Chain A
């Protein structure tokens, strides 16, 4: 099992460009999440999907859109990138357990110039 995979690993964009970050999990998990992590800020939830066909905003959704394509895949789109979106982006998934244990992908390091 690959667990949670993310592509790309690194990306440099110019202000105003768009891109989609891809995430897939092979653990048959219902819930999937997108976080961003900035130095000293911990993990901040952008969007999450509690089940296939549903998505909800997290703490910092502005400037992002998501698509839960199927149970395996959850993508994050930046329509018009801004320097403030320079960050490390993590995708995670979790099952139905009460502990909400989340499994993380390796992250995408995004720089917006």
Chain B
């Protein structure tokens, strides 16, 4: 079958580093994406990994290991505004298959 698993909730403090893991199971895989969604808002694209390794975009980095069917999103220097839900998703035949999301709470 097709599925993604990620933790439902993560809590961290301002200035810290947090890692949100995502494992997937699929017969066809074209890359792993990450989206951010603030309460009451729409999802917005953060990053995409097609190949193994680390992709860095400012304070956010995303990692993929295709052999382990595993990826993670790393958020550094956490700020209060990073409190949001984070979704991993993979592409399949022009549509995305989504995880259930990880709710990140950043505390002072």
Please say whether chains A and B are actual partners in one complex. yes
Tell me, rounded to whole Å, the shortest Cβ–Cβ distance linking B55 to chain A: 11
Given contacts A42-B87, A42-B100, A107-B42, contact A98 B50 (CB under 8 A): yes
Give the size range of A's interface with the partner.
20 to 34
Main secondary structure of the interface of A (DSSP, over half): strand
B98 touches A43 (CB 8 A): yes
The interface on chain B, measured as residues whose beta carbon lies within 8 A of the other chain's beta carbons, has a size of: 21
In the assembly, what is the distance between CA of A101 and CA of B33, in Å? 8
Q: Which residue of A lies closest to B43 (CB)?
A: A104
User: For residues 80 through 113 of chain A, which have their beta carbon under 8 Å from a beta carbon of chain B?
Assistant: 90, 92, 94, 98-107
- Proximity string of chain B (33-66) to chain A, C-beta cutoff 8 Å, 1 when within and 0 when not: 1010000011111001010000000000000000
A44–B87 alpha-carbon span in the complex (Å): 12
CA distance A100 to B98 in the complex (A): 12
Contacts of A27 in B (CB 8 A): none
Decide: A104 and B33 in contact? CB cutoff 8 A.
Answer: no
Asked if residues B94 and A99 are in contact (CB atoms below 8 Å), the reply is no
Q: Is the CB of A98 within 8 A of B30?
A: yes
- Residue of A whose beta carbon sits closest to that of B85: A42
Name A residues whose Cβ lies closer than 8 Å to a Cβ of B: 31, 33, 40-45, 48, 50, 58, 90, 92, 94, 98-107
